Amino acid sequence: MSKKNEYIKSTDNLEDGLFINREISWLQFNERVLQEASDPTTPLLERIKFLGIFSNNRDEFFRVRVATIHRMNMLMQKKELDYRISFDPRKLLSEIYSIVENQEKRFTAVYQDLTRQMKENGIFIVNEQELTHEEGKYVRSFFNQNIRSYVFPIMLNNVKNLTFLKDENFYLAVEMADTAKKSKTRFALLKVPVHITGRFISLQPPEDKKDSHFIILLDDVIRYCLPDIFSVFGYDHFEAYTVKFTRDAELDIDNDVSKSFIERMEESLKQRKKGVPVRFVYDEKMPLALLDKLKQKMRITEKDTLRAGSRYHNFKDFMDFPKINNPAFYFEPFPPLAHPLLPPNHSILAIMRERDIMLHYPYHSFQYLIDLLREASIDPQVKEIKMTFYRTARDSSVINSLINAARNGKKVTVFLELQARFEEETNIYWVNRLQEEEVEIIPTIPDYKVHAKLLVIKRMEDDGNELLYCNVSTGNFNESTATVYADDSLFTTDPRVTKDLDKVFTLFKSRYIPPTFENLCVSPFNIRSFIIRQLNNEIKNARSGKEAWAILKANSLVDEEVAIKIYEASQAGVSIKLLIRGICVIKPGIPNLSDNIEALSIVDRFLEHSRVFIFCNGGRNKYFISSADLMPRNLDHRIEVVCPIFDKGIQKELMQMIQIELNANVKARSLHDGHINEYRKVNSDQRIRSQYEKYYMFRKMLKGNHFKNKTHDRSTE
């Protein structure tokens, strides 16, 4: 082992400078989202949506990650932290807040630039002070008909505390005064009921601007109607300031064995709504007396929790900005494509008996999965259907297909993860709904989340033997997200895969007793060791003078042991290509350490969500897809699956997609040390936008019937 390798293995964690802190790396990822909002080549109203995505991402970051660091900091100050960490939480919080503050300034500048461009294109966001007389009449009428019955003022002088407020909402803090009696001032708080009407209210354009669009925000509608809301007091002066806070979203689930897990989860969700505020953002123009009153009622004592902001908050609502009838404001439409191996009105089960198929969402239609379940639900030879869910649509056609199968007499078994963060209430709803239909629900496994996405259909064939039809996916069985999340989904009857997939459901029931898997890798048991083993094989080949490389595509790369092994592989001469959309703690490009590592992040119209691992293996390439990111939580605390791809045609297809991404020079950013988030430059005049190139590739395959009369070869060399 080299001295450098010894240094890597003996040095603890982040303080040695080998890694980027995961929180800082996440903020760098969100910066890439902000870059999309800033990019003049992105259509105008898509840029507005990216501002909404940036804001939504940041809210979740504070609810989860910043809240965790706050807890660490408090425990360290009390000397109650029972494990050693390699960073100073207070120092890290300071760095986070500094980055967030700088990003907020850029965010505001981008928003102002976009509203200017919108005006130039006939889209006007007006406030309550800019309304004409006729618009004012309409706004007041709209308020009385649609909003007034959902506005409930909280008088701050009368209420004991505000710990019951929900952080999914934002509020208007109101100052009321009688100009004739300057000493008589009242403060109130109003929730802005976005869930009733949406954030944006369209107004009738004036006669001279009939082709223009006028929009007012719901908060400004309420501002305009404050005299009506508080008419009983006789005040003549009103000012309203937006406030928004973010709570700690950690769930503490008690161990009361007399209650079901669902009951304990529901109680924990109620407690989440009263979690400690970790961020309190307010309009910088708010009077100090009103701010002090809110701090007192919210019981906010931490100074770094407070952040002065602009007039408007909760920009995540801009993900749902009103649709304007002008194609130039939006991305080129990419309707989901048919798959050339799945002709219409043919049995999907019959096709699966003959060959493996891989769908690539959102390029391919998600409807195929629903059609497969519908076919299985009415096929008299199908006896059983098993499926896992992590995140589901509120009105899920997938789950409704399973309910239909149960009604048709099939045995249906479902594992629905109740601990999927921010999806708990939706998943509890579906568990109750499925139980009503007598679907067997496998109970949630304490201390572990099931993140694997699996479907197993058991069918008695004409020869009397049972055949397993399976689907394993890198992404959720969720039709709502399948139009924007880029995932890979394998449909197979290959027994080398299907027998192992069926055993995973045995694992759910046996809990801590893992079955023996022949070809599948399953965390928390062996995915980390699998990755290490494959990299060790590449290291051995590199040292023997053989070709050696590895391609790892994931949402995040955080796990320290895997990262150290990647560094070791780089030092041994293994070429490492990383496609990491989000957090990446590795620093590529450091001489004698990571100069054989290239790392890219692609952020574009679709969310890169698939996990693909490809290893050279001495020229006999190995291909895998997975639900797991390279993070300790996925490798140690979740049930995940790494699935081998045996089909030669699908292997070729995956490599084509990966090569397009590795060659991308549009929307691809460097993750190299000193060049973070710089757009990648290649020695080519050709512009390669990977998501577009992949769509065009699949469309060309469809038009040319690329797979016609081709039999996919599942065999291995």
Catalytic-labelled residue, pool 360, 451, 609, 712: 451
- Mapped onto helix, strand or coil, the DSSP state of residue 280 is strand
d(CA 47, CA 112): 12
| CA–centroid distance for 131 within its chain | 38
> Can you list the positions of beta strands (E) in 292-406?
306-309, 357-361, 382-389
Three-class secondary structure of residue 27 per DSSP: helix
Distance CA 361, CA 481 (A): 10
User: Nearest 5°: CA angle at 502, between 500 and 508?
Assistant: 105
Tokens 């505390």 found at: 161
Distance (Å, whole) CA 268 – CA 266 = 5
Report CA 313 to chain centroid distance, whole Å: 21
Residue located via tokens 């002709």: 343
Element holding 700 (H helix, E strand): helix 690-703
675 is catalytic: no
Distance in angstroms (rounded) separating the CA atoms of residues 353 and 348: 9
Strands (E), 563-637: 575-580, 597-602, 607-608, 611-615, 622-626
Helix H or strand E encompassing 247: strand 237-247
Residue 82 is classified by DSSP as -
User: What one-letter code names the amino acid at 528?
Assistant: R
- Residue 85 structure tokens: 């960490």
How many C-beta atoms surround the C-beta of residue 291 within 10 A? 20
**Which ranges in 490-614 belong to alpha helices (H)?**
495-510, 527-543, 560-572
- Pair 469, 352: CB distance under 8 Å: yes
Rounded to 10 deg, the angle between the 397-407 and 424-436 helix axes is: 20
Alpha-helical (H) ranges within 335-459 are 348-354, 367-378, 397-407, 424-436
- Given a contact cutoff of 8 angstroms between Cβ atoms, the answer to whether 598 and 578 are in contact is yes
Catalytic positions are: 451
